[in-house]
Structure 1
């Protein structure tokens, strides 16, 4: 093994592998998290993890895939040189990576990493081991081929070459792996998923898009919303429209909004005129315009995160939590859907995740009491929409104004 390869510790090997598999400039249906064991200040005793390496590895989460917790799990349509065959089906594969670097004894346990990666294939579509390139032997390559595990050779400069490429396999998917797929999808919770906090703004977009004339001008003239980009982006996250190279198209759900408007008003133009009467109203939309709020409720309930939240809030109510706070909700969710709880509620930056999660993936309560730990599109915009559609009793708040110990998440109607 060369001295340059021997100097590569595991966190650095993993950071290089992540950059190769999940480049930062690829934002389309792509998401990856690194295990919480890498979120601490040091790796081996007395060997700190460089801050730049931790930033490259973030966000952190403790995600079970197959028989254990891979060092990295993510979703992305990989390049052909990383796979032995084309990917399976239309969906990007779920990828698991185990990394091995130099140990305190100077060796690299490549074969153990290959076996660990193989164990992830119970749920992952492709599995890799990432190791210093000079540490890979012929026996390692033979074992990897037999077990259908890819081998990524990493050198000190950061170059990553596929030494062995795996075949993509189809298999079952656990709820934890599904949460990562969800984050990588068009409906995952992103920093700009919901820039507005009223469902009427998202209902108005497909109507204005369908109507004759400029979408932007129709939204402005009818006092629907002036933040057109936020309205379009939120409509896409709610599944009302799709955005592609050819432009914006209505989805089946978006066309149903148009049918609703035409059935009640005769035209989408007259329906849009109704929006002017709601301009700047602070009343709950469910009380202000019940028919439209019912429509918005169906749209919001089709959003995957809503369904899970409502079901778990009902369960909490059945268990005696009639008015759970945000802290109580997140702690409860983490017991039953740990990956979902972290991904949907906690901000993805390195500081929040490393403080809120232990190396074993357990929650620390202290950071949960800080508003700045939370994802604004969830605790502010999504919660506000759940309030306006009659699902929750209280609206949301910006993280800077949020007291998680007093922020109540209770169903307006319990079953």
Structure 2
């Protein structure tokens, strides 16, 4: 079956994280949403997304096609119902389109909505869906558990060096992992160490934790449950219930908690975020769709940071701060709690971060990780820069 993951309205409420990717390219747990579906269907997936992202995230149409809402986190019950769909069926729950099984002709007409005169099937089972950025860290522990079972079933873990201390036995170590003189506690959740990951001496990890391939935990780091460190990342200091998508660096002391950090981000030494207000009140965060602050229903909510953003040494992020794509924050004091995309500055004020300068920085970041920042990436940058210009009211 040809599986295509489509964006729904959640894409907009998940900004800034989905300005640079389809919803199904979000990492939560160990895997990206697309990788979870690929594991269940044992094949690749495509993405039906916004036109400016489509070249980077393509899809093809086959004789039979299964469209699945990219904000859905799969489970066995949902998978069984999707597999039972007949040609032309649209699966819905409370007005939300979940999936559709379409022929080649109807697939070409599909735009994320139910086709005229189509048959609808009501889904009555449990649904796990991403709607807001804070859903990612809130659901991350549960998704680490789910992905851990999915990835390790029937497989043999590599051995953990005897210089380490292991509490419990829910740890899985992929090929090439290096870990010495550290503590791993799996009593409250599993720990997954991806291929060629490194845990340097004196670190303390308390599951559930996912350390993805080729990432590093520096000496003396403390990592608490519900945390995912995406591929090719480096972390240090103290991290609690945070999701780092990948290719990012928080390599020094400082606290990151109840947070989501995109790709290609960098934290200066001793940068911190607050994750709870001093008066214990409900946290509000910026909502791109409403262009105002929205209640989260959470007492703990730290930092949401879009791709390619950076902060200088000793940066202090207030509770519930949202940072857009390719922002650069520096200087003393607390910056504002919404920092628009392509903003340059800090508590003293912000100005526009010139597009050509942002692209130059992104190209250098890609080169450091052996990646090419090509014309497709430049076009995405240019689109986001223009799309978010109205938010840069400096």
Measured against the shorter chain, the TM-score band is: under 0.3
Structure richer in strand, relative to its length: 2
Larger radius of gyration: 1
Normalising by structure 1, report the TM-score.
Answer: 0.27
Give the TM-score normalised by structure 2: 0.28
Greater RCO (CA < 8 Å, at least 6 residues apart): 1
